[in-house]
Structure 1
Amino acid sequence: MLTGKLTRLRALEPTDAESLARWLDDPVVSHWMVNDYPMSLAQVVKRCEERPRNTYGNLVLCIESLREKRALGVIALIGAEPESGWAEMSIYIGEPDFRSGGYGTDALRVVCRYGFDQMRLHGIWLVVVSENAGARRVYEKVGFVEEGRQRQRFYRDGKWHDLVMMSLLADELID
Protein backbone atom coordinates (compact mmCIF):
# COMPACT_ATOMS: atom_id res chain seq x y z
CA MET A 1 0.00 0.00 0.00
CA LEU A 2 1.29 3.47 -0.90
CA THR A 3 0.54 5.76 2.01
CA GLY A 4 1.53 9.32 2.85
CA LYS A 5 0.56 11.65 5.67
CA LEU A 6 -2.80 12.58 4.11
CA THR A 7 -3.36 10.16 1.26
CA ARG A 8 -3.29 6.54 0.23
CA LEU A 9 -2.76 5.51 -3.39
CA ARG A 10 -4.57 2.42 -4.61
CA ALA A 11 -5.57 0.77 -7.85
CA LEU A 12 -8.59 2.23 -9.61
CA GLU A 13 -11.73 0.16 -9.16
CA PRO A 14 -14.87 -0.03 -11.34
CA THR A 15 -16.71 1.49 -8.35
CA ASP A 16 -14.64 4.68 -8.90
CA ALA A 17 -16.31 5.27 -12.28
CA GLU A 18 -19.05 7.56 -10.97
CA SER A 19 -16.51 9.81 -9.24
CA LEU A 20 -14.24 9.80 -12.32
CA ALA A 21 -17.12 10.81 -14.59
CA ARG A 22 -18.11 13.62 -12.22
CA TRP A 23 -14.52 14.89 -11.93
CA LEU A 24 -13.87 14.84 -15.67
CA ASP A 25 -17.13 16.73 -16.21
CA ASP A 26 -16.09 19.43 -13.70
CA PRO A 27 -14.85 22.52 -15.58
CA VAL A 28 -12.44 23.39 -12.75
CA VAL A 29 -10.78 19.97 -12.99
CA SER A 30 -10.71 19.78 -16.78
CA HIS A 31 -9.81 23.41 -17.49
CA TRP A 32 -6.06 22.85 -17.98
CA MET A 33 -6.29 19.21 -19.07
CA VAL A 34 -5.99 17.87 -22.57
CA ASN A 35 -9.32 16.07 -22.53
CA ASP A 36 -10.90 13.34 -24.53
CA TYR A 37 -14.29 14.16 -25.90
CA PRO A 38 -17.10 14.08 -23.31
CA MET A 39 -17.98 10.57 -22.12
CA SER A 40 -21.17 9.21 -20.62
CA LEU A 41 -21.15 7.49 -17.25
CA ALA A 42 -21.65 4.17 -19.11
CA GLN A 43 -18.50 4.85 -21.16
CA VAL A 44 -16.48 5.69 -18.04
CA VAL A 45 -17.76 2.54 -16.31
CA LYS A 46 -16.76 0.46 -19.34
CA ARG A 47 -13.32 2.08 -19.43
CA CYS A 48 -12.81 1.30 -15.72
CA GLU A 49 -13.97 -2.30 -16.14
CA GLU A 50 -11.71 -2.88 -19.14
CA ARG A 51 -8.75 -1.04 -17.72
CA PRO A 52 -5.57 -3.11 -18.01
CA ARG A 53 -3.78 -4.00 -14.82
CA ASN A 54 -1.09 -1.65 -13.57
CA THR A 55 2.39 -2.35 -14.91
CA TYR A 56 5.83 -0.81 -14.74
CA GLY A 57 5.09 1.18 -17.88
CA ASN A 58 1.56 2.25 -16.97
CA LEU A 59 0.73 2.86 -13.31
CA VAL A 60 -2.59 4.65 -12.71
CA LEU A 61 -3.76 5.04 -9.11
CA CYS A 62 -6.70 6.50 -7.25
CA ILE A 63 -5.82 9.10 -4.62
CA GLU A 64 -7.80 8.44 -1.48
CA SER A 65 -7.96 10.55 1.69
CA LEU A 66 -6.35 8.60 4.48
CA ARG A 67 -8.72 9.75 7.20
CA GLU A 68 -12.04 9.82 5.33
CA LYS A 69 -11.21 6.91 2.97
CA ARG A 70 -12.73 8.95 0.17
CA ALA A 71 -11.58 8.94 -3.47
CA LEU A 72 -10.13 12.36 -4.30
CA GLY A 73 -8.44 12.12 -7.67
CA VAL A 74 -6.03 10.26 -9.91
CA ILE A 75 -2.25 10.10 -10.20
CA ALA A 76 -0.21 8.23 -12.79
CA LEU A 77 3.31 7.30 -13.82
CA ILE A 78 3.19 6.37 -17.49
CA GLY A 79 5.65 5.52 -20.21
CA ALA A 80 8.24 4.20 -17.76
CA GLU A 81 11.03 2.23 -19.37
CA PRO A 82 13.77 0.43 -17.44
CA GLU A 83 16.24 1.32 -20.19
CA SER A 84 15.78 5.07 -19.75
CA GLY A 85 14.82 5.18 -16.06
CA TRP A 86 12.24 7.91 -16.73
CA ALA A 87 8.43 8.14 -16.46
CA GLU A 88 5.85 10.83 -17.12
CA MET A 89 3.63 11.88 -14.20
CA SER A 90 0.11 13.29 -14.21
CA ILE A 91 -2.23 14.15 -11.37
CA TYR A 92 -5.55 15.80 -10.64
CA ILE A 93 -7.64 16.26 -7.53
CA GLY A 94 -11.30 15.95 -8.45
CA GLU A 95 -13.02 16.54 -5.12
CA PRO A 96 -13.47 20.30 -4.53
CA ASP A 97 -13.15 20.06 -0.73
CA PHE A 98 -9.69 18.48 -1.08
CA ARG A 99 -8.10 20.78 -3.68
CA SER A 100 -6.26 22.59 -0.93
CA GLY A 101 -4.81 21.33 2.32
CA GLY A 102 -1.84 19.44 0.91
CA TYR A 103 -3.55 16.35 -0.52
CA GLY A 104 -2.11 16.78 -4.02
CA THR A 105 1.36 17.52 -2.66
CA ASP A 106 1.22 14.46 -0.40
CA ALA A 107 0.07 12.15 -3.21
CA LEU A 108 2.77 13.54 -5.50
CA ARG A 109 5.48 12.84 -2.91
CA VAL A 110 4.17 9.30 -2.38
CA VAL A 111 4.12 8.41 -6.08
CA CYS A 112 7.54 9.98 -6.69
CA ARG A 113 9.05 8.11 -3.73
CA TYR A 114 7.52 4.89 -5.09
CA GLY A 115 8.88 5.62 -8.56
CA PHE A 116 12.39 6.25 -7.27
CA ASP A 117 12.57 3.55 -4.58
CA GLN A 118 10.50 0.68 -6.00
CA MET A 119 10.57 1.26 -9.74
CA ARG A 120 14.22 2.41 -9.66
CA LEU A 121 13.45 5.44 -11.82
CA HIS A 122 16.14 8.06 -12.27
CA GLY A 123 13.72 10.85 -13.10
CA ILE A 124 10.08 11.83 -13.45
CA TRP A 125 8.84 14.48 -15.85
CA LEU A 126 5.57 16.26 -16.55
CA VAL A 127 4.04 18.93 -18.74
CA VAL A 128 1.88 21.71 -17.30
CA VAL A 129 0.19 24.75 -18.86
CA SER A 130 2.21 27.83 -17.95
CA GLU A 131 -0.81 29.65 -16.48
CA ASN A 132 -1.67 26.77 -14.14
CA ALA A 133 0.09 28.45 -11.22
CA GLY A 134 -1.43 26.25 -8.52
CA ALA A 135 -0.17 23.04 -10.10
CA ARG A 136 3.26 24.53 -10.75
CA ARG A 137 3.55 25.52 -7.06
CA VAL A 138 2.72 21.97 -5.97
CA TYR A 139 5.32 20.52 -8.36
CA GLU A 140 7.97 22.97 -7.18
CA LYS A 141 7.21 22.14 -3.51
CA VAL A 142 8.36 18.57 -4.05
CA GLY A 143 11.40 19.58 -6.10
CA PHE A 144 10.34 19.66 -9.77
CA VAL A 145 12.23 22.25 -11.82
CA GLU A 146 11.38 23.83 -15.15
CA GLU A 147 13.39 22.32 -17.99
CA GLY A 148 11.88 23.92 -21.03
CA ARG A 149 8.88 25.40 -22.72
CA GLN A 150 6.84 24.65 -25.80
CA ARG A 151 5.45 27.92 -27.02
CA GLN A 152 1.74 28.28 -27.72
CA ARG A 153 0.93 24.56 -27.74
CA PHE A 154 -2.32 24.53 -25.74
CA TYR A 155 -5.50 26.36 -26.73
CA ARG A 156 -7.96 27.41 -24.02
CA ASP A 157 -10.11 30.44 -23.24
CA GLY A 158 -9.73 31.84 -26.75
CA LYS A 159 -5.93 31.98 -26.74
CA TRP A 160 -2.80 29.88 -27.02
CA HIS A 161 -0.76 29.01 -23.92
CA ASP A 162 2.77 27.73 -23.43
CA LEU A 163 3.41 24.25 -22.05
CA VAL A 164 6.14 24.00 -19.43
CA MET A 165 8.17 20.82 -19.09
CA MET A 166 9.30 20.08 -15.54
CA SER A 167 11.34 17.23 -14.12
CA LEU A 168 12.56 15.76 -10.86
CA LEU A 169 15.61 13.57 -10.35
CA ALA A 170 15.70 10.90 -7.67
CA ASP A 171 18.05 12.86 -5.39
CA GLU A 172 16.00 16.08 -5.70
CA LEU A 173 12.75 14.92 -4.07
CA ILE A 174 11.83 17.23 -1.18
CA ASP A 175 10.11 15.30 1.60
Structure 2
Amino acid sequence: MLEGELVRLRALEPEDADKIYGWVHDPEVGRWMVNDYPRSRAQIRKRCEERPVNNYELVVLGIETKAEGELIGIVDLRDADPRVGNAELDIYIGDAEYRGGGYGTDAMRVMCRYGFDAMRLHMITLWVVAGNERARHVYRKVGFSEDGRHREAFVGEGGRRHDMILMSMLKGELT
Protein backbone atom coordinates (compact mmCIF):
# COMPACT_ATOMS: atom_id res chain seq x y z
CA MET A 1 0.00 0.00 0.00
CA LEU A 2 1.02 3.57 -0.64
CA GLU A 3 0.51 6.04 2.19
CA GLY A 4 0.22 9.77 2.55
CA GLU A 5 -0.70 11.93 5.52
CA LEU A 6 -4.46 11.34 5.22
CA VAL A 7 -4.89 8.49 2.75
CA ARG A 8 -3.74 5.04 1.85
CA LEU A 9 -3.88 3.85 -1.78
CA ARG A 10 -4.64 0.19 -2.36
CA ALA A 11 -5.71 -2.20 -5.09
CA LEU A 12 -9.47 -2.39 -5.60
CA GLU A 13 -11.32 -5.47 -4.37
CA PRO A 14 -14.57 -7.05 -5.64
CA GLU A 15 -16.18 -5.99 -2.35
CA ASP A 16 -15.71 -2.34 -3.39
CA ALA A 17 -18.36 -2.70 -6.12
CA ASP A 18 -21.31 -1.49 -4.03
CA LYS A 19 -19.55 1.75 -3.08
CA ILE A 20 -18.42 2.33 -6.66
CA TYR A 21 -21.99 1.73 -7.88
CA GLY A 22 -23.21 4.52 -5.58
CA TRP A 23 -20.52 6.92 -6.78
CA VAL A 24 -21.10 6.18 -10.46
CA HIS A 25 -24.75 7.14 -10.01
CA ASP A 26 -24.11 10.25 -7.89
CA PRO A 27 -24.77 13.32 -10.08
CA GLU A 28 -22.18 15.38 -8.19
CA VAL A 29 -19.45 12.80 -8.87
CA GLY A 30 -20.37 12.44 -12.53
CA ARG A 31 -20.90 16.15 -13.20
CA TRP A 32 -17.39 16.74 -14.55
CA MET A 33 -16.63 13.22 -15.77
CA VAL A 34 -17.12 11.48 -19.08
CA ASN A 35 -19.55 8.75 -18.08
CA ASP A 36 -20.52 5.64 -19.95
CA TYR A 37 -24.07 4.51 -20.26
CA PRO A 38 -25.82 3.57 -17.01
CA ARG A 39 -24.47 0.36 -15.46
CA SER A 40 -26.15 -2.05 -13.12
CA ARG A 41 -24.76 -3.08 -9.75
CA ALA A 42 -24.11 -6.55 -11.25
CA GLN A 43 -22.13 -5.03 -14.16
CA ILE A 44 -19.96 -3.00 -11.79
CA ARG A 45 -19.46 -6.01 -9.51
CA LYS A 46 -18.40 -8.12 -12.53
CA ARG A 47 -16.00 -5.40 -13.65
CA CYS A 48 -14.46 -5.30 -10.16
CA GLU A 49 -14.13 -9.10 -10.10
CA GLU A 50 -12.56 -9.24 -13.56
CA ARG A 51 -10.35 -6.16 -13.23
CA PRO A 52 -6.96 -6.85 -14.81
CA VAL A 53 -3.92 -6.90 -12.60
CA ASN A 54 -2.32 -3.47 -12.19
CA ASN A 55 0.63 -3.08 -14.55
CA TYR A 56 2.80 -0.36 -16.02
CA GLU A 57 0.20 0.75 -18.56
CA LEU A 58 -2.66 0.98 -16.03
CA VAL A 59 -2.54 1.34 -12.26
CA VAL A 60 -5.98 1.74 -10.63
CA LEU A 61 -6.05 2.22 -6.86
CA GLY A 62 -8.72 2.84 -4.28
CA ILE A 63 -8.30 5.85 -2.00
CA GLU A 64 -9.05 5.05 1.61
CA THR A 65 -8.81 7.13 4.73
CA LYS A 66 -5.76 6.30 6.77
CA ALA A 67 -7.58 6.73 10.07
CA GLU A 68 -10.78 4.75 9.41
CA GLY A 69 -9.78 2.58 6.45
CA GLU A 70 -12.86 3.85 4.59
CA LEU A 71 -12.83 3.67 0.77
CA ILE A 72 -13.60 7.21 -0.45
CA GLY A 73 -12.45 7.40 -4.07
CA ILE A 74 -10.35 6.14 -6.95
CA VAL A 75 -7.14 7.32 -8.60
CA ASP A 76 -5.34 5.89 -11.61
CA LEU A 77 -2.35 6.35 -13.85
CA ARG A 78 -3.18 5.11 -17.34
CA ASP A 79 -1.76 4.93 -20.83
CA ALA A 80 1.76 4.94 -19.41
CA ASP A 81 4.38 4.80 -22.13
CA PRO A 82 7.83 3.65 -20.99
CA ARG A 83 9.48 4.94 -24.18
CA VAL A 84 8.74 8.57 -23.26
CA GLY A 85 7.93 8.23 -19.56
CA ASN A 86 4.45 9.77 -19.67
CA ALA A 87 1.12 8.74 -18.12
CA GLU A 88 -2.31 10.30 -17.66
CA LEU A 89 -3.91 10.66 -14.23
CA ASP A 90 -7.59 10.45 -13.25
CA ILE A 91 -9.00 10.93 -9.75
CA TYR A 92 -12.27 11.38 -7.95
CA ILE A 93 -13.44 11.46 -4.37
CA GLY A 94 -16.74 9.60 -4.47
CA ASP A 95 -17.73 10.00 -0.83
CA ALA A 96 -19.16 13.52 -0.37
CA GLU A 97 -18.20 13.58 3.32
CA TYR A 98 -14.51 13.62 2.37
CA ARG A 99 -14.56 16.23 -0.41
CA GLY A 100 -12.73 19.42 0.47
CA GLY A 101 -10.85 17.93 3.42
CA GLY A 102 -7.47 17.51 1.74
CA TYR A 103 -7.96 13.82 0.92
CA GLY A 104 -7.88 14.37 -2.86
CA THR A 105 -4.79 16.55 -2.59
CA ASP A 106 -3.01 13.94 -0.49
CA ALA A 107 -4.03 11.12 -2.87
CA MET A 108 -2.74 13.14 -5.85
CA ARG A 109 0.64 13.65 -4.18
CA VAL A 110 0.96 9.96 -3.25
CA MET A 111 0.01 8.77 -6.74
CA CYS A 112 2.29 11.27 -8.49
CA ARG A 113 5.18 10.35 -6.19
CA TYR A 114 4.56 6.69 -7.07
CA GLY A 115 4.51 7.56 -10.79
CA PHE A 116 7.73 9.52 -10.67
CA ASP A 117 9.66 7.27 -8.29
CA ALA A 118 8.45 3.68 -8.82
CA MET A 119 7.35 3.95 -12.47
CA ARG A 120 10.19 6.34 -13.41
CA LEU A 121 7.81 8.66 -15.27
CA HIS A 122 9.07 11.97 -16.58
CA MET A 123 5.63 13.62 -17.02
CA ILE A 124 2.12 13.11 -15.70
CA THR A 125 -0.76 14.76 -17.53
CA LEU A 126 -4.47 15.15 -16.91
CA TRP A 127 -7.52 16.75 -18.48
CA VAL A 128 -9.98 18.82 -16.46
CA VAL A 129 -13.16 20.66 -17.43
CA ALA A 130 -12.43 24.40 -17.43
CA GLY A 131 -15.42 25.09 -15.19
CA ASN A 132 -14.26 22.66 -12.51
CA GLU A 133 -12.31 25.29 -10.60
CA ARG A 134 -12.18 23.22 -7.41
CA ALA A 135 -10.25 20.44 -9.18
CA ARG A 136 -8.04 22.90 -11.05
CA HIS A 137 -7.09 24.50 -7.73
CA VAL A 138 -6.05 21.12 -6.28
CA TYR A 139 -4.05 20.24 -9.38
CA ARG A 140 -2.17 23.56 -9.32
CA LYS A 141 -1.54 23.15 -5.59
CA VAL A 142 0.31 19.85 -6.10
CA GLY A 143 2.40 21.22 -8.98
CA PHE A 144 0.45 20.82 -12.24
CA SER A 145 0.66 23.61 -14.83
CA GLU A 146 -1.95 24.46 -17.43
CA ASP A 147 -0.57 23.63 -20.88
CA GLY A 148 -3.47 24.12 -23.25
CA ARG A 149 -7.17 24.25 -23.95
CA HIS A 150 -9.35 21.94 -26.03
CA ARG A 151 -12.34 24.08 -26.93
CA GLU A 152 -15.87 22.80 -26.26
CA ALA A 153 -14.58 19.22 -25.90
CA PHE A 154 -16.75 18.23 -22.90
CA VAL A 155 -20.52 17.85 -23.03
CA GLY A 156 -22.10 18.56 -19.65
CA GLU A 157 -25.61 18.73 -18.26
CA GLY A 158 -28.25 19.64 -20.79
CA GLY A 159 -25.79 19.23 -23.66
CA ARG A 160 -23.88 22.35 -22.63
CA ARG A 161 -20.32 22.33 -23.98
CA HIS A 162 -17.25 23.22 -21.92
CA ASP A 163 -13.58 23.65 -22.71
CA MET A 164 -11.12 21.07 -21.40
CA ILE A 165 -7.79 22.14 -19.90
CA LEU A 166 -4.65 20.03 -20.39
CA MET A 167 -2.41 20.11 -17.33
CA SER A 168 0.96 18.49 -16.76
CA MET A 169 3.66 18.05 -14.16
CA LEU A 170 7.28 17.10 -14.77
CA LYS A 171 9.38 15.05 -12.42
CA GLY A 172 10.72 17.48 -9.82
CA GLU A 173 7.68 19.79 -9.88
CA LEU A 174 5.61 17.88 -7.30
CA THR A 175 4.96 20.12 -4.28
TM-score > 0.5, shorter chain as reference: yes
CA displacement, residues 20-41 of structure 1 (integer Å, 9 cap, x when unaligned): 0000100000001000111010
Figure out how many residues of one structure are paired with residues of the other and give that number: 174
Partner amino acid for 1:32? W
What is the match of residue 140 of structure 1? 140
Cα offset for 1:156? 1.2
Partner amino acid for 1:163? M
Does residue 70 (structure 1) correspond to residue 70 (structure 2)? The answer is yes
Cα offset for 1:148? 0.3
What is the match of residue 50 of structure 2? 50
What is the match of residue 173 of structure 1? 174
Cα distance in structure 2, aligned partners of 1:75 and 1:50: 18
Query: Which segments of 5 or more consecutive residues in structure 1 lack a partner in the other structure?
Result: none
Of all paired residues, the percent bearing the same amino acid is 56
Cα distance in structure 2, aligned partners of 1:85 and 1:70: 32
Cα distance in structure 1, aligned partners of 2:153 and 2:115: 28
Partner amino acid for 1:26? D
Does residue 115 (structure 1) correspond to residue 119 (structure 2)? The answer is no
Partner amino acid for 1:166? M
Alignment of 1:8-47 (within 5 A): 8-47=8-47
Cα offset for 1:157? 2.7
Structure 1 stretches of 4+ moved >4 Å: none
Alignment of 1:89-168 (within 5 A): 89-158=89-158, 159-168=160-169
Cα offset for 1:168? 0.4
Cα distance in structure 2, aligned partners of 1:48 and 1:55: 16
Cα distance in structure 2, aligned partners of 1:15 and 1:84: 36
Matched position secondary structure for 1:120 = coil
Matched position secondary structure for 2:172 = helix
CA displacement, residues 24-62 of structure 1 (integer Å, 9 cap, x when unaligned): 100000001000111010000000001100001100000
Normalising by structure 1, we get a TM-score of: 0.98
Cα distance in structure 1, aligned partners of 2:157 and 2:11: 34
CA displacement, residues 57-114 of structure 1 (integer Å, 9 cap, x when unaligned): 1000000000010000000000111101000000000001001110000000000000
Matched position secondary structure for 1:171 = coil
The answer to whether the Cα contact below 8 Å between 2:122 and 2:170 also exists between their aligned partners in 1 is yes
Does residue 82 (structure 1) correspond to residue 82 (structure 2)? The answer is yes
Matched position secondary structure for 1:172 = coil
Partner amino acid for 2:33? M
Query: Which segments of 5 or more consecutive residues in structure 2 lack a partner in the other structure?
Result: none
Cα distance in structure 1, aligned partners of 2:149 and 2:132: 14
Normalising by structure 2, we get a TM-score of: 0.98
